[in-house]
Amino acid sequence: VVTEMAIFTALPGKEDELGRAIGHGVEFIRQYPGCISVGIARSIEKPARFTVSIDWQSVDVHVNGFRNSPLFGQWIGSIMGLFDQEKLDTQHYQAYRA
């Protein structure tokens, strides 16, 4: 299992609209078989910032599977035009044991 953490920053004036769009859009992600779970959170200090945390079965399932599926287009289509693409940060994380 890997966790994709995507950090979105709303364009000015689009904060609440982006939140609602993410809330609806993640339903497309949840439909993909390799998706284990999805969580959305909003920053208290910077309410324009939302995180979408997605547990995937593997990086491959996400990058080569989901991103090539029609569901990816539906997800991106839901939120396009509402966030600052230059500030988008997406990484895959693995739980770390020291």
In the complex, which residues of this chain contact a copy of itself (CB under 8 A)? 2-3, 5, 19-20, 22-24, 39-46, 49-51, 59, 91-98
CB of 13 or CB of 98, closer to a copy of itself:
98
Q: Shortest gap between Cβ of 71 and a copy of itself (angstroms)?
A: 18
Rounded Cα–Cα distance for residues 72 and 92 (Å): 17
CB of 15 or CB of 32, closer to a copy of itself:
15
For residue 8, the tally of other CB atoms under 10 A from its CB is 23
Q: Shortest gap between Cβ of 32 and a copy of itself (angstroms)?
A: 19
CB of 7 or CB of 11, closer to a copy of itself:
7
Q: Shortest gap between Cβ of 85 and a copy of itself (angstroms)?
A: 18
Which residues touch 4 (CB under 8 Å, ≥6 apart)? 52, 53, 54, 55, 56, 62, 90, 91, 92, 93
Rounded Cα–Cα distance for residues 77 and 22 (Å): 10
